[in-house]
Structure 1
């Protein structure tokens, strides 16, 4: 049985300034950032998000078979916690190359970082940190103080990135 790594960030105490250079560096390299809300919460964009999420998830240890498109829509998009403003996208020459998706859970008092990923050719440039910074800003703007995430223990790069941002082990 897998012991998942459960992490939490105090969004209110998060210092954006330390990670702002990652946004600047990405923009200087021709990367732009937007959200699903800005682009339009449409069927075409749902399909593009699905394909990006599927590609970025391929390296997650023991991920197993990715959702079918219909299951993805039912479990990730057509749910009350979905907010298109919480889907941050990195683009290069109009191609979607990275994402960070957060969901809001008012009854639980926290937001969830569902997925942050960058396509393999664009990794190692700090894009995940830049995307996660924008996701944290979304969560803060939505009025949440807690952002939680869960990782497979062998997903060392994702765990390290989140710890670098200040995520700590959840106690509950």
Structure 2
């Protein structure tokens, strides 16, 4: 036995004082993973189903939003790149958010999904929310920071990645 976890089943054991802490540590990133996964799925679907957003121009369009932030962004060249094809950029962000959200929620290629989420958040922070004053009013920086623990740790529990890892270990053990 190791720190309150039965070694044969890996289920929580709350019998002694420190055991609940060990269990809490093991599951600490799960709420963050669920929040970011659901949020990014929602953000992607919201963009894809908003008829005003996926347009080059007009109220609420991706094109108008990017033109509005161009001069206040940290990297105007990045905004200029998006303005070459605002609708294509909008679809790229929306589908990227969907893929990242699904991968994060399922724990499938979790580190790669988290890296994608971090890169989306970084690009949005450097463009759309860069001029937020004070800086903490812009949520993209907070999302960027939230992705970092998942980039580092992945999804070690309740995930497709964990299931695949377990299956590989079982196979490797069976061939000895």
Range class of TM-score, shorter chain: 0.3 to 0.5
Considering fraction of residues, name the structure with more strand: 1
Q: Which has the higher helix share?
A: 2
Higher relative contact order (CA 8 A, sep 6+): 1
- What's the TM-score once normalised by structure 1's chain length? 0.34
For the pair shown, which has the larger CA radius of gyration, 1 or 2? 2
